[in-house]
Amino acid sequence: MSKHKDKKVSAEPGNGFNSKGLGLRVQKKLASKMSSKAVAKVFIDEPTGQLLDNVYSLVKEYTSDKKDAEKIIKYIIKVTIKIAIAYRNDQFNGEEISLISDFKKKFRTLIMTITSFVEVDFTFDSQYLSKLFLECSTLLQQILARHTTEKTKGKVDRVFTLLGDQSFLEAVFKPDTNYSPLMSKISKQLDELMESGTL
């Protein structure tokens, strides 16, 4: 009789194997390796992908640096996926869920402010918009505090530092420039994503 005949492998939590925990680790590992738009499309729907494409074009136009623009979009995608994975796997505690609710409200205010500034002439206020970006960044860092590395937190800072920079905002919101067609597209896409409940 084989000495292994009666040996059983348990998948019960606490017995050395946990399918949910393993699944979470695998998902996080996959998220950490994501860099191409082709792979990201598995997680990001078509309208959101189109929005990110236009944000990429906007950043590239401003920085004249294709690689830097690509990094910004990759950072947005990776952080978004990591948050989605953690949320889906019930990794956030009560306080963090409350912070997520606060972030959603603040982010929606940011989106509505952007679309308003694009659509209504002479309303743009770079200081106010920059402040909203900073507040969103602060809330997001609090949400991520227990769940990500310093490297990921640095990526969040990089995204919000650029997008919330007053010089960047003043450039892209200035009427009748190379940025204007892109800003009109972004504003329309943001409106559509708000109406669909995606944002």
Query: pLDDT tens-digit profile of 33-54?
Result: 554 455 555 567 888 889 999 9
Which residue bears the tokens 């189109």?
50
Environment class of 77 (CB within 10 Å of its CB; exposed 0-12, middle 13-18, buried 19+): buried
First to last CA, the chain: 61
Determine the distance from the C-alpha atom of residue 123 to the mean position of all C-alpha atoms in its chain, rounded to a whole number: 27
Environment class of 147 (CB within 10 Å of its CB; exposed 0-12, middle 13-18, buried 19+): middle
Tokens representing 11 are 């998948």
> What is the DSSP track for 87-117?
HHTT---HHHHHHHHHHHHHHHHHHHHHHHH
Helix (H) / strand (E) element for 4: namely: none
Which of 127, 112, 139, 125 lies closest to 173 in space, CA to CA? 125
Looking at the predicted structure, is the pLDDT value of residue 109 above 90?
Answer: yes
Looking at the predicted structure, is the pLDDT value of residue 14 above 50?
Answer: no
Tokens representing 109 are 């205010």
Q: How far apart (Å, rounded) are the C-alpha atoms in residues 125 and 103? A: 21
Query: pLDDT tens-digit profile of 128-181?
Result: 999 999 999 999 999 999 998 899 899 999 999 999 999 999 999 999 999 999
Which of 78, 85, 103 lies closest to 155 in space, CA to CA? 78
For 96, phi and psi rounded to 5 degrees?
-70, -35
